[in-house]
Structure formats: structure tokens, C-alpha cells
Chain A
Amino acid sequence: DTEVTQTPKHLVMGMTNKKSLKCEQHMGHRAMYWYKQKAKKPPELMFVYSYEKLSINESVPSRFSPECPNSSLLNLHLHALQPEDSALYLCASSQETSNYGYTFGSGTRLTVV
């Protein structure tokens, strides 16, 4: 298995809703990532998990809450989002060392109404 699987593919949520994005990989990668991508812009790093521990939080608002329950799963819990949070949310995984690239999932297209 050489894929990163993200669910759901599309999500529409109201500003008072609570939802979660899910990411799964079975490549034995011990580093996992969340990125946010607005249209026609580069992906922006949000969170980095290394060996199931949060190692980087790029000053992301607390309405985004990441969770890494085990080495194969990464969740992003969403609460009280704003319309400007609408974007493509990408998950990625990689080997731990810097000379490896990332494997990206296809993303979750999030719309906040």
C-alpha cells in the first residue's frame, strides 16, 4: 500500500458545526502532516507529527485541533470555523529523515457556510 487516504473528499459545514477530517497510511511512515491550500496558492504547513507526537504547530487557530491516535492515523478536528477556512486540506506522510519526500493524499475540499 503506497497511498495516503483522506476522508471525506468533500465536506460542507456550518460555522457552529463540529466535524473531523481523517487521514490514513499503511506505509510505516512515522511522520505525518496537515497542510491547508487555498485556490491557486501553495500548500501551507499547519501541523507536523513525528512518532505520534506533535512537533510543529504553525500558529494555527485553536478551532483546528489535530490528533494522532496511532502511527497510521491522523485526524483534524474542526469546530467553529469561519468562511475563510474554506480550502483544500491535504494530509501527507513520510519517512522520518529529511532526504525523503512526502506522499500526499488527494485532500478534503472543505466549504464553511
Chain B
Amino acid sequence: AQSVAQPEDQVNVAEGNPLTVKCTYSVSGNPYLFWYVQYPNRGLQFLLKYITGDNLVKGSYGFEAEFNKSQTSFHLKKPSALVSDSALYFCAVRGYNNDMRFGAGTRLTVKP
């Protein structure tokens, strides 16, 4: 079965500092990996995806993610965090049956 894990419930960073939100995956075959962000009482917004190609994927709002096959990781990164980046972040994997499964989520807090 396809799955992803987010080892950190909470990540705190200061505004202007780089941020990393971690994700590891367990898939058979080629992984289709995604990052979504959720603001309070809202649906999920797509940030970026890895399907194939370059290991560094650039997405919305200045976010990027690095796919690492040897470490089975897909960490989300941003060079300089904003207070407005504070939200709940989900890593996800899409299976061959059209089913997308989410990690437990990481709450990012960016302090001024």
C-alpha cells in the first residue's frame, strides 16, 4: 500500500528563516507525491507535486520540495518563512487506483 509519514506534529520557525517540513514515503513503483496546505476551516490547497524528472520541484508561494529516492523523502522547503505561511501542511501520495492518501499533517507556526 502507498503511504506517507510526517514525523513532526509541529514546526516553529522565525520569520525570515528557512523552513523545512519533513515527509517520508513508502510506495511500490514510481511515487506520485504531493504537498497541500490547509488554512483554518478551509479545504486543501495544492502547493506542488513530484511525478518524475528533477528532484527539486518548485511550487506555489515560493515553496519547493526535494525528492530523495535513497532516503525515500520528499521534504517541503522555503528559503524565507512568512508569518502568513502559518498553516497545516499535508504530504500526500496518489495511488494507481486514483486514491490519494495523506500524512498526519504538520502544523507550521512562523513567529514574527
Contacts and interface: CB of A to CB of B under 8 A. Distances in A.
| Contact-size category for B | 20 to 34
B98 A42 contact: no
Nearest to A94: B98
Given A104-B44, A107-B43, A48 B98 contact: yes
Contact of A31 (B34, B98, B104): B98
A48 B99 CA distance: 7
Interface string A22-52: 0000000001010000001111010010100
Given A42-B103, A43-B102, A45-B101, A98 B96 contact: yes
Interface string A81-113: 000000010101010101101111111010000
A4 B98 CA distance: 18
Interface string A1-35: 00010100000000000000000000000010100
A65 interface: no
Interface residues of A, number: 28
B101 A106 contact: no
Interface of A: 4, 6, 31, 33, 40-43, 45, 48, 50, 55-56, 88, 90, 92, 94, 96, 98-99, 101-107, 109
Interface of B: 32, 34, 36, 41-46, 49, 51-52, 88, 90, 94-105, 107
